[in-house]
Copies of this chain bind each other. A is one copy, B any other.
């Protein structure tokens, strides 16, 4: 790649937008050319407009960019959207219509019949869907919910090797998943909130599409049972999930671990810059995985799994951990864009 591809970020001052900036600021293929946000910020230098909340320092060159409005006259080919769902639906369509490649982290278009809900390791062929989109040169692709993504990564090797009957999941989600300002400290400090608006529904619906099959221009959802319970816990980054599964064949424990450890897919073959070298790590240590220890594994893009054991109601239970703002948001979306480029979907 001789010349870097100019990209823009919609919702650049928000928490997901900031994470896009952190992860893209030294990207080998992309260069941030545009940052766009609400009226309130437009016209200001990014450094003045943003309340930078990341521990990674704000890249100096980005701080000097002028914040634009979220209208489709940005000087770039791809836009990454970290927009709030209250406006993402319409704004993203406008950009797609105007010919931009929109890679969105918002929920609005995820379940649209013609929009890929993409996890590059799982369903790279779903990108074919954009050919039936109505946007000409533009298109919309989406990234799943931050709790869904870890879950489906753990399920894909099980599905492929053993068949999947049912999935029961209870999440312990980090506060960064709620954006900024998000959760009030008085609500979560020394506390658990056993409810996250709309989350359980997303975690119950998205996997069937992601794990579904692309055939002749449509996705056939995977048919299996799923139940989700979602909790917010006082952790900064990293969603932990307790998962139980029923599998069609009845594999031994070691076979399952092998399936996870040997899982490798398109992003690894293509050696995409943001791809983890290994999508899934299984730990034998009895109290692993843990968010503070494992969330940054393999650039924050890997899934950590531990505690696989037989269950008295389901076949097996285990614990998974993934970084909700990297693999579960900005990093996952960037990987999607990389896959599109490597596979020729973006000219």
Give the B-binding residues of A (Cβ under 8 A). Answer: 15, 52-57, 166, 168, 170, 172, 175-176, 180-195, 204, 225-227, 229, 231, 233-236, 240, 242, 244, 286-297, 306-307, 311-314, 317, 319
Q: Is the CB of A231 within 8 A of B183?
A: no
User: What's the minimum C-beta distance from A196 to chain B, rounded to whole angstroms?
Assistant: 9
Closest beta carbon of chain B to A261's beta carbon, Å: 15
- Bound complex: CA A296 to CA B55 (Å): 7
Copies of the polypeptide in the assembly? 4
Chain B residues near A314: list those with CB within 8 A. 227
Q: Is the CB of B185 within 8 A of A188?
A: yes
Contact A55 B231 (CB under 8 A): no
User: Which residues of B are found within 8 Å of A192, using beta-carbon distances?
Assistant: 172, 233, 235, 240, 290-291
A183–B189 alpha-carbon span in the complex (Å)? 11
Q: Identify A190's interface contact among B57, B236, B244, CB under 8 A.
A: B236
Residue numbers in B under 8 Å from A226 (CB-CB): 312-313
B170 A54 Cβ-Cβ under 8 A? no
Q: A319 — nearest CB in chain B belongs to which residue?
A: B194
Other-chain contact of A189, B190, B244, B307 (Cβ < 8 Å): B190
Instruction: Give Cα distance in the complex from A287 to B312, angstroms.
Output: 29
- Nearest CB of B to A112, in Å: 23
| Residues from chain B with Cβ under 8 Å of A53 in the complex | 186-187, 293
| A164 to B183 Cα, complex, angstroms | 37
User: A176 touching B186 by the CB < 8 A rule?
Assistant: yes
CA distance A204 to B309 in the complex (A): 14
Distance in angstroms between the alpha carbons of A56 and B166 in the assembled complex: 34
Complex-state Cα separation, A70 to B291, whole angstroms:
33
Q: For residue A166, which residues in chain B have a CB less than 8 angstroms away from its CB?
A: 313
Instruction: Give the docked Cα–Cα distance between A313 and B169 (Å).
Output: 11
